[in-house]
Chain A
Amino acid sequence: MMEVMTANYAAAYAVKLARVGVIAAYPITPQSSISEKLAEMYVKGELYGKYFLVESEHSAMSMLIGASYAGARTFTATSSHGLALMHEMLFWAVGARRPIVMAVVARALAPPWNIWGDHMDVMSERDTGWMQFFCENNQETLDTILMAYKISEDRSVMLPSMVIEDGFILSHTYEAVDIPDQDDVDDFLPPFDPEWKIDFDDPRRFGGLTMPDWWSEFRYRIALDQEVAKKKIVEVDKEFERRFGRSYGGLVEFYNCDDAEVALVLAGSAVGTAKEVSDKMRERGKKVGVVKLKTFRPFPAEELKKLNDMVPVVGVFDRSYTFGYGGALYSEVRNGIYVPGGGALVKNYVGGMGGKDFTPKNMEFIFEDLLRIKKEGKVDRMVEWINIKDGTGRW
């Protein structure tokens, strides 16, 4: 059934279709309309599970960890400062191996106060152990949440997932979205059935003190299972395509890359802009490719290594910044594709932060800059911030 809706509503429909057992809701802009839509569904009796109001995001995540321990499929949504407030419990969810799925409507962190789209909040949680899936559009948001449950709850993975949609750019923009049939989703996504859960007839202790001689073994298992997740993500993407006719490339999607001279790696809603600009530039004979990073954690380093053979120059577009060095995507991509004594040149572009317009014209500038680097054979500077007012009126 096709309907016109925002990515936030698409996320809410995905939660309904996934038959989530426990939803913890604490509103924060621009996530609020996910919680509102779910509240509306709950009041109308359309939801399978229970909807709980909590007093903070820290409580929301704590509650879901408990509910998940008890065997419930769980969901919450957050943004920006809300995600930051969850920080402590995000580690706990991973350590406890709880397959919670959370929509993160990516937004800037204050000050100065800013409610718009940006990836600083998401990138700050890179090292928690959560899987991180970026979405390009509203349909992808719905589909990714369904896939995320299947990946997270797989007994060989058992790790939580963040499904990331860009604040306002997707969360409040209407697009046609196909809502799958409940029966098809039920078929695709069986009920949550954990190997271990709280059971009064078979009591045991979860997450108690573990001494140094065993603790790192638990961490090692998380590290290994992130690798297992990579295979599972590709597998689930293929199954999703078989059943619903839509695929997102698994870990990474190469677009217009086969004969490309340069390529730009990026994640989130800007991928759509990059694809369109790439198509238009190809009409003018400029062979530019786009690499869509679907998953940031686990990071598809092996898949990206192909870029070395495909193109001599790689650009990385970041919607966030790690102060004192460069964008997070940039450092990961450059490390990931690095081969000793050669490989592609890599340059970092930073832009579209805090809701700043990132237009096709800006995207074209990046591609032209990459083509120039290819011609000159060297990267002039590591990082370039796009669209910064510098008095030249260049933008």
Chain B
Amino acid sequence: MVEVPKTYKDLPSTPITFFTTEDNKTGTWRTIRPVIDKEKCTRCYICWKFCPDLSIEVEEEGDYPNVDYDHCKGCGICANECPSGAIAMEKEMGK
């Protein structure tokens, strides 16, 4: 494991990625966020299938899907594909 550098001097001579995609919190790019309405959700997991960023999490079969806001970029595909209209795209507030 390469230690995460503190300054440019600590960088390895060859660019080795020391942050995994999990460490890179791409959720900061988002301007609108998907919010799942559990009343309407039928747990079909189509949102999970369509998410291009693996940002919809399903912990166990039968659970409601959960959005990983650290990595969701707010593309809205989940809301667009949801057959029961359970996902609303809401404006990011307080940033």
Which of A210, A214, A220 counts the most B-chain CB atoms under 10 A from its CB?
A214
Interface positions, chain B 1-51, Cβ under 8 Å from A, are: 2, 5, 7-8, 11-17, 19, 21, 24
For A209, give its contact among B2, B13, B16, B24 (CB under 8 Å): B24
Q: B8 to A221, Cβ gap below 8 A?
A: yes
Q: Are A210 and B8 in contact (CB under 8 A)?
A: no
Is A155 a contact of B13 with CB atoms below 8 Å? Answer: yes
Scoring A residues 155 to 172 as 1 if CB is less than 8 Å from chain B, else 0, what string do you get?
A: 100100000000000000
B17 to A206, Cβ gap below 8 A? yes
Residues of chain A from 182 to 219 with CB closer than 8 A to chain B in the complex:
194-196, 204-211, 214, 217-218
Q: Which residues of A from 52 to 98 have beta carbons under 8 Å from B?
A: 95-97
Contacts of B8 in A (CB 8 A): 217, 220-221
Bound Cα distance from A155 to B12, whole angstroms: 10
In the bound complex, CA of A209 to CA of B29 (Å):
15
- State the Cβ distance, A159 to closest chain B Cβ, in Å: 10
Q: Which B residues touch A96, using CB under 8 A? A: 14-15
Q: Kindly identify which residue among A195, A208, A214 contacts B14, using a CB–CB cutoff of 8 Å.
A: A195
Chain A residue nearest in CB terms to B26: A211
Of B2, B7, B24, most buried by chain A (CB within 10 Å of CB) is B24
Q: How far is the CA of A97 from the CA of B14 in the complex (A)?
A: 6
Q: Closest Cβ of chain A: how far from B27's Cβ, in Å?
A: 12
Across the two chains, which residue of chain B brings its CB closest to A216? B8
Judging by beta carbons under 8 Å apart, are B16 and A211 in contact?
A: no
Contact between B15 and A209, CB atoms less than 8 A apart: no
Asked whether B12 lies within 8 Å of A196 as measured between CB atoms, the reply is yes
**Which of the residues A95, A205, A217 comes within 8 Å of B11, measured between beta carbons?**
A217
A37-65 interface code vs B (CB 8 A; 1 in, 0 out): 00000000000000000000000000000
Contact with A along B45-63 (1 / 0, CB 8 A): 0000000000000000000
Q: Which residues of A contact B15 (CB under 8 A)?
A: 95-97, 206-207, 210, 218
- Cβ B13 vs Cβ A211 within 8 A: no
Q: Is B11 within 8 A of A158, CB to CB?
A: no
* CA of A352 to CA of B75, assembled, Å: 55
Distance A273 CA – B49 CA, assembled complex (angstroms): 69
Question: What residues make up the interface of B, taking CB atoms closer than 8 Å to A?
Answer: 2, 5, 7-8, 11-17, 19, 21, 24
15 contacts between A and B (CB under 8 A): A97-B13, A158-B13, A194-B13, A194-B14, A196-B12, A196-B16, A204-B16, A205-B17, A207-B15, A207-B17, A208-B17, A209-B21, A211-B19, A217-B7, A217-B11
Q: Which 6 A-B pairs have the closest CB atoms?
A: A208-B17, A217-B8, A196-B14, A205-B17, A97-B14, A158-B13
Instruction: Using CB atoms and an 8 Å cutoff, list the residues of chain A in contact with chain B.
Output: 95-97, 155, 158, 194-196, 204-211, 214, 217-218, 220-221
7 new A-B contacts, CB < 8 A, other than A204-B17, A214-B19, are A95-B15, A97-B13, A158-B14, A196-B14, A208-B21, A210-B17, A221-B8
